[in-house]
């Protein structure tokens, strides 16, 4: 089910591929290989042009990191601001990058997931109105990018980590309170109606390694299939620690095999493999960047190699995407209070790390 990406490197010899970025290698094996990206960074051509160029050299797919999230664009009923997403998606298309959409329903009330104004109106909204609101939002967003976005994360992070009594351990969210488990089905249906050719994903974290959350994921997927919801696959985020080195037969492989058994595709959607870093004050220019122990960079290279091999060993893998590519722009230090970071392939100055070389090796088929 790999999609064909233009073979820009057909005439290249293996040695010339070695000196190019990762994109040529990914194109050569028809692999969707992506990174998240932010519209403002691309528009302002930040870091002396390196940010844009690093994307173009290394990836054939991008996913807006925040610019397509409901709180970023949805400003009121019938009011959606597409300025940033339009810019990024136009730029991607003019550079022959595929686009992954993220996200239509971020099924939580917490953090940067749902617009505050909608929560504030909650008591005045009936379930029927909520269904219509969901329909109108998804129709507007998916419809605008029909044929331009290859796949969407339709529902993101609906399953809670700690136990609760809701079906599939769903989070307590606006959409669940209004519509129960039907919100999941409606979201997929509305997205499919708006762009019938688009691939539609459920996306979550910590579901790639087996255990209770994975079991809940499978229960939810089986429920969606029983309702004929048009789901193509599962996005496994893969925000992991670089101490891990998956091996055939382990829990990672077992989980992905269960996806294949269910005749679904999957993508690694947000991979970053973090290491411990020195705690510095937030104002320090190296905040989130200095490994606590330099040996961790070698471990990280091994870990990246093993995770890449994990994804590529499955025929139903529709792609591998990283949550950023330079340590200078990564959500990890901010979300771990500065205790972890340096999770990506290039350092903050856009120099390739050991992990970059190990990813290159795997993509080159070595
Ligand atoms: C993160 C972004 O990277 C941050 O910039 C933002 O502040 C919070 O969200 N899972 C997801 C992504 O699905 O949307 C999250 O992105 C990271 C975890």
The length of the chain, given as a count of residues: 366
pLDDT at 68 over 90: yes
User: What pLDDT, in 10s, does the model give residues 266-296?
Assistant: 999 999 999 999 988 989 988 888 899 989 9
Q: For residue 17, name the pLDDT band (cuts at 50, 70, 90).
A: very low
Quote the ligand 1 centre to 66 CA distance (angstroms). 7
- Could you give the CA distance from residue 186 to residue 194 in angstroms, rounded to a whole number? 12
**What's the 331 CA to ligand 1 centre distance in angstroms?**
7
Upstream peptide bond of 103 is cis (omega within 30 degrees of 0) = yes
Q: So where are the chain's domains?
A: 4-363
Positions marked active-site? 157, 270
The closest-lying atom of ligand 1 relative to the alpha carbon of residue 36 is: 3
Task: Print the SS3 string covering 212-249.
Answer: HHHHHHHHHHHHHHHCCCCCCEEEECCEEECCCCCCCC
Over the chain, what is the mean pLDDT?
94
Q: Kindly tell me if the per-residue pLDDT of 6 is higher than 50.
A: no
State the fold for domain 4-363. Answer: TIM Barrel (3.20.20)
Residue that the structure tokens 């989130």 belong to: 288
The per-residue pLDDT for range 19-61, each reduced to its tens digit, is 579 999 999 999 999 999 999 999 999 999 999 999 999 999 9
Residue 11 has pLDDT above 90, yes or no: no
Instruction: Quote the ligand 1 centre to 102 CA distance (angstroms).
Output: 10
Nearest CA to ligand 1 atom 12: 65
| Atom 13 (ligand 1) nearest CA | 156
Instruction: Give yes or no for residue 123 having a pLDDT over 90.
Output: yes
Residues with CB under 6 A from ligand 1: 65-66, 112, 156, 205, 237, 270, 331
Which is the closest atom of ligand 1 to the Cα of 331?
Answer: 3
**pLDDT tens profile 187-230:** 999 999 999 999 999 999 999 999 999 999 999 999 999 999 99
What pLDDT is stored for residue 279 in this prediction? Answer: 87
265-276/317-322 β-pairing? parallel
For the chain, what percent of residues have pLDDT higher than 90?
90
Nearest to 108 by CA among 175, 185, 48: 175
Q: What is the model's pTM?
A: 0.94
pLDDT at 164: 98
**The dihedral sign for the CA sequence 227, 258, 343, 365:** negative
Instruction: Taking residues 90-109, report their average pLDDT.
Output: 97
In contact, 276 and 291? CB cutoff 8 Å: yes
Q: How much distance in Å is there from the Cα of 113 to the middle of ligand 1?
A: 9
pLDDT band at 136 (very low <50, low <70, confident <90, very high): very high
pLDDT score recorded for residue 343: 98
pLDDT surpasses 50 at 5: no
Q: Atom of ligand 1 at shortest distance to CA of 112?
A: 8
CB contact set of 358 (below 8 Å; sequence gap of 6+) = 301, 302, 304, 305, 308
What is the per-residue pLDDT for 66?
98
Q: CA-based Rg of the chain, rounded to a whole angstrom? A: 20
Atom of ligand 1 nearest to the CA of 106: 13
pLDDT of residue 13 exceeding 60, the answer is no
Q: Which of 34, 65, 268, 329 to mutate to test the pocket of ligand 1 (most atoms within 8 A of CB)?
A: 65
Q: Given this model, what pLDDT does residue 196 score?
A: 98
């Amino acid at each position: 089910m790999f999609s064909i990406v233009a073979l820009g490197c057909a005439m290249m010899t293996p040695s010339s591929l070695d000196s190019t970025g990762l994109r040529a290698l990914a194109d050569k094996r028809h692999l969707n290989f992506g990174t998240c990206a932010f519209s403002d960074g691309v528009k302002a051509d930040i870091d002396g042009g390196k940010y844009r160029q690093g994307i173009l050299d290394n990836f054939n797919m991008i996913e807006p990191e925040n610019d397509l999230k409901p709180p970023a664009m949805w400003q009121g009923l019938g009011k959606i601001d597409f300025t940033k997403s339009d810019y990024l998606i136009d730029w991607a298309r003019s550079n022959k990058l595929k686009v992954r959409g993220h996200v239509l329903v971020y099924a939580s009330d917490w953090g940067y997931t749902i617009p505050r104004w909608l929560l504030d109106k909650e008591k005045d909204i009936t379930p029927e109105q909520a269904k219509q609101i969901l329909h109108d939002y998804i129709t507007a967003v998916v419809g605008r990018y029909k044929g331009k976005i290859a796949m969407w994360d339709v529902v993101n992070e609906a399953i809670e980590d700690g136990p609760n009594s809701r079906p599939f351990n769903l989070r307590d969210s606006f959409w669940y309170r209004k519509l129960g488990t039907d919100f999941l089905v409606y979201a997929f249906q509305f997205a499919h109606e708006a762009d019938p050719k688009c691939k539609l994903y459920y996306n979550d974290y910590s579901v790639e390694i087996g255990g209770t959350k994975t079991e809940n994921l499978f229960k939810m997927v089986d429920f969606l299939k029983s309702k004929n919801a048009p789901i193509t696959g599962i996005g496994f985020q893969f925000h992991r620690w670089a101490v891990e080195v998956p091996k055939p037969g382990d829990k990672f492989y077992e989980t992905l095999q269960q996806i294949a058994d269910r005749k679904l595709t999957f993508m690694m959607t947000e991979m970053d493999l973090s290491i411990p870093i020195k705690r510095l004050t937030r104002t320090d220019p190296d905040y989130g960047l200095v490994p606590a122990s330099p040996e961790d960079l070698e471990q990280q290279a091994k870990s990246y190699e093993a995770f890449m091999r994990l994804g590529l060993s499955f025929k139903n893998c529709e792609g591998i995407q990283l949550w950023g590519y330079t340590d200078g722009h990564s959500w990890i230090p901010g979300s771990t209070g500065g205790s972890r970071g340096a999770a990506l392939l290039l350092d903050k100055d856009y120099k390739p790390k050991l992990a970059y070389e190990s990813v290159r090796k795997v993509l080159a088929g070595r």
